[in-house]
Amino acid sequence: MKFLGLAVLLTVPLAAQAQTPGPAETATIAAIARVETLNPKVNAVIALDPTALDQARALDRQRQARGPLFGEPVLIKDNIETRGPLPTTAGSLALKDNVTDRDAPLVARLRGAGAVILGKTNLSEWANFRDGASISGWSAVGGQTRNPHALNRGPCGSSSGSGAAVGAGMVAAAIGTETDGSITCPAATNGIVGLKPTVGLVSRGRIVPISHSQDTPGPMTADVRTAARLLTAIAGSDPEDPATAEADARRVDYAAALDPAALRGARIGVLRWATGNSPDMKRVFEAALDVLKAQGAILVDVEPPKDRDSLGSAEIVVLLTEFKVDLAAYLASAAPAVRARSLADLIAFNRASPRELGLFGQSLFEAAQASQGLADPEYLAARARSLRLAGPEGIDAMLARAGAVALVAPTAPPAPIIDVVRRGGGGGVGAGNFAAIAGTPHLTVPMGTIGGLPVGLSFLGPKWSEAKLLALGHAYEQAAKAKPEPAFADSIEATPPVAALLARPQ
């Protein structure tokens, strides 16, 4: 993959260079310049699309019927296929030649709305589903993505590059994917907006999968309005993805539904138990609740569901089983140059690659390989149990007990230090796993900082409630004004306010 820079302009005929760039080309040139300046610090972008400027110029030539995302540069997570010369790798060297030259349906929708596909973002390899002790934000293809607020901190995963690129200000819009936390955690950790839609609102076609029960793409953006605009563009039915059968009937103009007064009179369930044991998280969360109340929201405390601690054990059986089956189906249609056509092939490839297994193993791959398929009684029981605990006895029950239109909770802890010894990537706070397993929407909006590191406020609702969640999140965003600016410091300890406190008194 070649990294496109502004030098590409030198290859354009002089007559074309002399012409004043149109708005789409101007926006694309500016985005490329920001990536060139900022990406060496955070390593969020794997490659820029060498057709990006051609896309922009073609859009500028359109004098009519310019789409709602006209000229908007959008970065795409590198487990999503895009037409053109860039491979879709999921961060793995096994897929480094996976040039399919076809758009995922959601990418085709972005192009149809007038977006410029700027390039591909790094991710936690295989969407953080290779090993239980992986390093969040690292892939063999892309290396380590860093948090723009403190470069020794992780970006969370698996949509780490999309989160860090938007958080750094390279673009205002990127696409991520989530199975459980992979949009919302990196969004919160990088100080941006992230939306995991209802499973089935956006097509999963031509995306490297983990689980057909839980996977969904979604927007990761600088603000709620941009998330709403992107969702309006990418939502819709896909005949090749049965889960999206209702999408056309359910989708609306999400940006048109935004309302700065949406919190007035809205009854919202509060998950105070989801703050964990952190006094700092409780303090920031209480401040966010004060904002909600000041905007007219009616807050109702909600107790945690029973048996919530057993959600994870049922979920992992589902994910391991579906990963083996769904990945085999994807590999069957991969580019001819890809040799691996099964999970067993990938396991063997990794064992032969020092770079792949140099930092951590592939325990999840090996466990998935041992799974027994979609007819296995253990899988069927686990799927039924996880759905019941997360849906009817989880999200649905909490909403009903509070008589609420939505629930709020902290999204995730502040970003941990990148650590190749202890590894890990955060987690342990919030209630997003209920939404992930139940397939319901989950919006996170910047809530403030803890020690200079961003944290997010989650809005959770029933299926197909994206318009309501976005409206509530937009109203909170406009009132709270809590979006942090990236410091690009080597560490939080090196930022001037913290360094001054750590220094010896003079």
User: Which residues are catalytically annotated?
Assistant: 77, 158, 182
Tell me how far apart the alpha carbons of residues 387 and 393 are, in angstroms, rounded to a whole number.
9
DSSP track, 62-110 = --S---TTTT-EEEEETTB--SSS----TT-GGGTT-------HHHHHH
Whether a cis peptide bond, with omega within 30° of 0, leads into 458 is: no
Nearest to 412 by CA among 196, 258, 251, 249: 196
Written in H, E and C, the secondary structure of 412-481 is CCCCCECCCCCCECCCCCCCHHHHHHHCCCEEEEEEEEECCEEEEEEEECCCCCHHHHHHHHHHHHHHHC
What are the C-alpha distances in Å from 372 to residues 112, 130, 248, 316?
41, 18, 35, 14
Q: Return the amino acid letter for 320.
A: L
DSSP secondary structure string for all residues of 8-46: GGGGS-HHHHHSPP-HHHHHHHHHHHHHHHHHHHH--EE
Contact 109, 244 (CB under 8 A): no
